[in-house]
Amino acid sequence: MRALVKPHKGPGLELRDVPEPHTGRSEVKIRVLRTGLCGTDLHIESWDDFAQAHVSPGQIIGHEFYGEIVEVGASVPEGEGIDELHVGQRVSVEGHVVCRRCSNCRRGRHHMCLRTKSVGVDRDGAFADYVVVPARNVWVQPDEIDPDLGALFDPFGNAVHTAFQYPLATEDVLISGAGPIGTMAAAIAQQIGGRQIVLTDINPARLELASGIGVTTVNVAEEDLRGVMAALGIREGFDVGLEMSGSPAAMAQMIELCNFGANIAMLGLPSGPYSIDWNTVITRMLTLQGVYGRMMFDTWFKATNLLTSFPGLREQVRSLITHRLPAQQWQEAFDIARSGSSGKVIMDWSV
């Protein structure tokens, strides 16, 4: 089969012919139809410190994907029941494979597993014609979720997990970072009844794409955010902040402009440590909550229910796909994603 692999310790990837994976007793084999490109994949291609700590030469990468079950392991219950898997089902996959033995796993906090192994990072991934994953990680998709949307469930889940940290209905929400996940979070906040949703960035291309979902977008390098707040009738500050950029400047501005008692969820990963005005955090009684990945599988239920219940949200998320390329053009797909001027880039493995 075709597979995009890390050929050696160093920059670069290679599309190779490799043996089709064997399906273990508690696993399923999936024919990959679509994959989405993620910042993690770009880190692996460039071979930065993160990649060097996790990825081995010869490993297949990729973790955002949608496909069709073609084989079910011998010990996996197979049938038509609500919890059973069978050949032909269309699925997405939770990419965090957990140990189920650590204290967090045994307490039901699987997303906080101490020994998590990630598909496409710590084990072979889905940038290939076929991928094998544990059956318990498979998420069967309803008919409303087409292949492109199904390939985005991983990043959409990040947006859902972050947006649902705090109640958003009737609240004024500031979201920093107009990348695909930040824009998805803004769309979610809008759909579930946020009062004023303000999405900030300094990248004009990303802001232009995000403006299509119908929230207020602000280039904070060119426009005074306080003036925007006044025009929107936000007099005392934002009630909720979602920090999706990893930018120290964005975080400082969010702390400055949130109301007393506001809640801030932080998903964006910074490139290094940075200082925070803890006097303001303390005296304004702000709550800061770190967010990582998705809740297994509460977030998946929420994500599916949101997209099947709100057709407008499906269209908003789908509008963030700016490029679709066949898998053979993987290098072009990576270059587009790395440019910073695209939305989500989808690779088609069905051709």
Mapping DSSP to helix (H, G, I), strand (E, B) and coil, where does residue 227 land?
helix
Q: How far is CA 308 from CA 167, 301, 302, 312, in A?
A: 21, 11, 10, 10
Residue type, 76: V
What are the tokens at 231?
Answer: 């025009």
Enumerate the H helices of 225-329 as residue ranges. 225-232, 248-257, 278-283, 298-309, 311-318
Residue in 8, 22, 35, 43 annotated catalytic:
43
* Residues, the chain: 351
- Residue bearing tokens 């910074």: 270
- Contact between residue 83 and residue 174 where contact means Cβ atoms under 8 Å apart: no
Q: Per residue, what are the HEC states of 134-172? A: EHHHEEECCCCCCHHHHHCHHHHHHHHHHHCCCCCCCCC
Strand 14-17 and strand 2-5: the pairing is: antiparallel
- Is the CB of residue 175 less than 8 Å from the CB of residue 198? yes
Say how many CA atoms lie within 13 Å of 279 toward its Cβ: 0
Sheet holding 197-201, edge to edge: 216-219, 197-201, 173-176, 238-243, 258-266, 287-290
What distance in Å separates the CA atoms of residue 326 and residue 2, rounded to the nearest whole number? 12
Nearest C-alpha neighbor of 294 from the set 191, 151, 179, 165: 165
Task: Identify the active-site residue in 23, 35, 40, 217.
Answer: 40
43 noted as active-site residue: yes
Q: With helix as H, strand as E and coil as C, how does 34-51 read?
A: EEECCHHHHHHHHCCHHH
Residues assigned a catalytic role? 40, 43
